Amino acid sequence: MQIIYDSVRPYLLPLTGCQDNSTADQKQHSRHRYRSCQVLLASAAHQTKAMGYDIERFVGYVNDGLLCCICRDVLENPLQAPCEHAYCTSCIHGWLVHHHNCPEDRQALDLSMLRPLFRYMRNDLNRLQIRCRNREHGCEMVCSLESVDRHERECEYSRIPCTNASCPMQVERRNLEAHLAVCEYRSRECLNGCGYTILNADDTHHNCVAELRTELELLRSEMICKVEEVRHEMESRLDSQRRHMVQKESLLKNEIEELKSQMSRVMSDVRTLLAAERLHRQDLEQAELEKRELMELLKSLQRDGRAGSNIAEGGVRKTSGTRTLARLDSIKRKPREVTVI
Ligand SMILES: [Zn+2]
Ligand SMILES: [Zn+2]
Ligand SMILES: [Zn+2]
Ligand SMILES: [Zn+2]
Ligand SMILES: [Zn+2]
């Protein structure tokens, strides 16, 4: 806007500066040039879309009093000068940057003199029927000027930016869902089936093979870690079992040694007993023998006794008596083997 004001300034200056001493022709000419400036300003206003509602959008007759003196469109956020000329807020603010008068009748004007529009005019303005600005895109909505802003904020034909960050697309609100389904910036799984989620369309560097290789490396290192863990656990378990077995083995060895020594003691006892038994048996045999000898001796003594009573004191009896005593002595002298176990 600033550029446009600067470009039309040479046309406006003669009008304000030489108004009094110019001829009617010049005035007419100046007015004509002034009008063309206004048209220029108005077209600039349309380009920036900052001021006025395009009169073409209205249904039915629009009173001239409801048009902006600067952009010639229907007043948007109107303000009124003491001269009762009305302008869009942005139009008159722009004008007063370089001028200090009403653009319509040149009466002195500054920002502090601007007032809201008369109530009856505001009501007339609010009741005007206007088409939705998205009419060219298909919206058939016609509503009061008062409510058109609300409608346009929610209009299904309004163009809104795609909700995916970094997507440059602008789509009609009603088409947003369909766009999101195909938006190149949506996060989606790789179409080649690697399972990787691609976050946006610039991800052209995505390489399935590299991605899968990285994944594989990750899995492999995880696997190696797990295998190492299991190996360590098994080794420690085996170690403890081995230690346990060694202890057990030495215990068993000790027991075996103990049993062996017991066994050898038992064997020697057995041997001693066998020897003792043998001796005992010999003793028994010996005793048997002695008994038989004694029995014989006794019998012989009985025989001798009977013979002695018959034959009185004789040398024969003496001899046999001596022999018997000697034999008794030899029996007595035989040592008795006593086995102590
Ligand atoms: Zn205006
Ligand atoms: Zn005025
Ligand atoms: Zn609409
Ligand atoms: Zn998108
Ligand atoms: Zn992939």
Question: Which tens digit of pLDDT belongs to each residue from 109-135?
Answer: 999 999 999 999 999 999 999 999 999
**Gap from CA of 170 to ligand 5 centroid (Å):** 28
Q: Is 195 left (phi over 0), alpha (psi -120 to 50) or beta?
A: left
**What tens digit of pLDDT does each residue of 42-95 get?**
444 444 445 889 999 999 999 999 999 999 999 999 999 999 999 999 999 999
Residue 205: per-residue pLDDT = 76
Determine the distance separating the centroid of ligand 5 and the alpha carbon of 150, expressed in angstroms.
45
Q: Which two tokens stand for residue 165?
A: 């960050």
Q: How confident is the model at residue 29 (pLDDT cuts 50, 70, 90)?
A: very low
What is the predicted pLDDT for the residue at 335?
A: 54
**Whether the predicted pLDDT of 32 surpasses 60:** no
How close is the Cα of 31 to the center of ligand 1, in Å? 19
Distance in Å, CA 49 to ligand 2 centroid: 24
Lowest pLDDT segment from 73-87, 88-102, 132-146, 298-312? 298-312
Which bound ligand lies closest to the C-alpha atom of 150? 3
Percent pLDDT > 70 in the chain is: 74
Decide if pLDDT at 294 tops 80.
yes
Distance between Cα 172 and ligand 4 center (Å) = 12
pLDDT at 191 over 60: yes
Q: Dump pLDDT digits (tens) for 313-333.
A: 554 455 555 666 666 666 555
Residues 6+ apart with CB under 8 A from 196: 189, 190, 206, 208, 211
> Position of tokens 């009061």?
144
Using only C-alpha atoms, what is the Rg of the chain? 71
Residue 13 pLDDT > 80, yes or no?
no
CB 77 within 8 A of CB 89: yes
What is the phi/psi pair of residue 251, to 5°?
-60, -45
Mean pLDDT across the chain: 81
36 or 279, higher pLDDT: 279
Whole-angstrom distance, CA of residue 148 vs CA of residue 143: 6
In this predicted structure, what is the pLDDT of residue 175? 92
Task: Report how far ligand 5's centroid is from the alpha carbon of 222 (Å).
Answer: 22
At 194 the pLDDT is 80
pLDDT of res. 11:
41
For 208, list phi and psi in degrees, rounded to 5.
-55, -45
Confidence grade of residue 286 (pLDDT, cut at 50, 70, 90): very high
Adjacent-strand bridge partners of 184 = none
Q: Which pair of tokens denotes residue 32? A: 């004509």
Alpha carbon of 191 to ligand 4 centroid (Å): 18
**Residue tagged 């041997």 (tokens):** 271
Q: Is the pLDDT of residue 30 over 50?
A: no
Nearest alpha-carbon partner for 174 in 134, 201, 146: 134
Class of domain 2-132: alpha beta
d(CA 327, CA 261): 49
129 Cα: distance to centroid of ligand 3 (angstroms): 13
pLDDT at 167: 87
Tell me the average pLDDT across 250-271. Answer: 96
Spell out the alpha helix ranges (H) of the chain: 2-17, 24-48, 89-96, 119-127, 145-154, 176-182, 208-310, 315-333
- Work out the pLDDT band at 102, boundaries 50, 70, 90: very high
Q: How far is the CA of 142 from the centre of ligand 3 (A)?
A: 8
Which pLDDT score, from 0 to 100, does residue 275 have? 95
Residue 202 confidence (pLDDT): 53
**Token pair 């073409």: residue:** 56
Whether 18 shows a pLDDT value over 60: the answer reads no
SS3 of residue 135 by DSSP = helix
- Could you say which ligand is closest to the alpha carbon of residue 171? 4
Distance from Cα 39 to the centre of ligand 3, integer Å? 28
Reported as a single tens digit per residue, the pLDDT across 213-251 is 988 999 999 999 999 999 999 999 999 999 999 999 999
**What pLDDT score was predicted for residue 36?**
44
CA–centroid distance, 208 to ligand 5, in Å, is 4
Token readout for 311 is: 């034959």
Position 269, amino acid:
D
For position 113, what pLDDT does the model report? 95
Distance 189 CA to ligand 5 centre (A): 8
Which ligand sits nearest to residue 188's alpha carbon?
5
In the prediction, which pLDDT does 312 show?
53
**What is the Å distance from ligand 4's center to 159 Cα?**
12
Q: Is the pLDDT of residue 307 over 70?
A: yes
Sequence spans of domains, the chain: 2-132, 161-205
Q: How many angstroms separate the alpha carbon of residue 32 from the centre of ligand 2?
A: 18
One-letter amino acid identity for 160? I
What's the pTM value of the predicted model, to 2 decimals? 0.44
